[in-house]
Amino acid sequence: MHQGRHFLQIPGPSPVPDRILRAMDMPVIDHRSAEFAALGRAVLEGSQKVFQTRGPVVIFPSSGTGAWEAAIVNTLSPGDKVLMVETGHFATLWRQMAGRFGIEVDFMPGDWRRGADPIQIEARLAADTAHSIKAVMVVHNETSTGATSRISDIRAAIDRTSHPALLMVDTISSLGSVDYRHDEWKVDVSVSCSQKGFMLPPGLGFNAISEKARAASRTNRMPRSYFDWEEMLKPNAKGFFPYTPATNLLYGLREAIAMLLEEGLDNVFARHQRLAAATRAAVNQWGLEVLCQEPSEFSPVLTAVMMPPGHDADQFRKVVLDNFNMSLGAGLSKVAGKVFRIGHLGECNELTLLGALTGVEMGLSVAGVPHRPGGVEAAMRLLEQRDQRNASSYLKVVST
């Protein structure tokens, strides 16, 4: 028997703050009423601020996987060719989905230890003089590995080739936690969901779409019904949805957006960077290895930690859960049993993180995993040096 609150330190679903739980604790209302229209307009306009776009954001009652599907069926046709990059488990799943729709996928291999390489993408597009590639599809933050791809650099690489391919980005585990700029980076479709940076339960999928993507949706030949953008955008103009919406999740979304904007997106991003840096300081002190090898691509959302040879990550996670009532993320697919993942996203602060790191350090001892003590202290030292002046100054320190 465990007392106290369970520590949910997986990289999503993230813990739902009490403030959002209270916001969702409302009677269901008439989804054709003026009261609902005000709610609909609030969440649609608020989502634009989080995506940092002036274009439309479509909200589906779905998981992030549904939002993946919406991105595909609204822009591509059977037989189209797309360029994707093997950054981890979720990039592989998106590739499999595309294949089921008859899309030809040029899947650039990767080692699961870094993000998508802009230079390699540029080379593939430069060689495609016939412009047979219709889209470049990239996972921004690969949740299975803790590596974040540099979308602004990828956009610059595409621009250097003057290639007309759409840029489609999975922001499922990064939106609301990692700096992301849909308009500035000229992303055509940004895919996301509710249970990560938005701090909501699962159940909402998002597509932020450019005019270029919307134009593609008017001529592509992929059948769709439930996920049709145009069928959503017509009633969205007045705050409504074409079918029954997830009303109480939308109440929560309105509150989540308010929380993010009250803190300030720059401050949200800086907080995640700071907590991630403290986590890596602990891992380094323990003598363990972070899975991501490129410092400029370290994820602010989670840290994937490699186990020493001869030690099973899933057994270690079980020891931590049984002894300290804390859930850590499992290794997926190629890294199953080889890594565990520490989530530090959403409603997470210094003390929450230090509690989680304490549980990991005690778990390493109980499980007999070779390590150096003092990881929590190393994280504390970094957090004590927090620059209180403003978020941008901290981001500059981290980036250097």
Matching residue, tokens 């989530």: 343
Three-class secondary structure assignment of 118-180: HHHHHHHHHHCCCCCEEEEEEECEECCCCEECCHHHHHHHHHHHCCCCEEEEECCCCCCCCCC
- 151: nearest Cα among 164, 131, 130, 168: 168
> Does residue 5 have a known ligand-binding role?
no
Distance (Å, whole) CA 158 – CA 136? 9
Distance (Å, whole) CA 376 – CA 356? 9
For the CA atoms of 252, 256, 258, 261, what is the dihedral angle to 10 degrees? -160
Q: What are phi and psi of 164, to 5 degrees?
A: -85, 5
Q: How far is CA 343 from CA 301, 338, 388, in A?
A: 6, 17, 24
Going by C-beta distance under 8 Å and a sequence separation of 6 or more, which residues neighbour residue 210?
55, 182, 186, 187, 188, 189
Q: Read off the DSSP letter of residue 87.
A: -
* Residue 255 in tokens: 């509150």
* Residue 265 in tokens: 């997106």
How many Cβ atoms sit within 10 Å of the Cβ of residue 37? 15
Three-class secondary structure assignment of 279-331: HHHHHHHHCCEECCCCHHHECCCEEEEECCCCCCHHHHHHHHHHHHCEEEEEC
Helix (H) or strand (E) holding 57: strand 57-60
| 3-class secondary-structure state, position 44 | helix
Going by DSSP bridges, is the β-strand pair 326-330/7-9 parallel, antiparallel, or unpaired? parallel
For the CA atoms of 88, 222, 226, 43, what is the dihedral angle to 10 degrees? 60
Binding residues: 341
Binding residues for substrate: 341
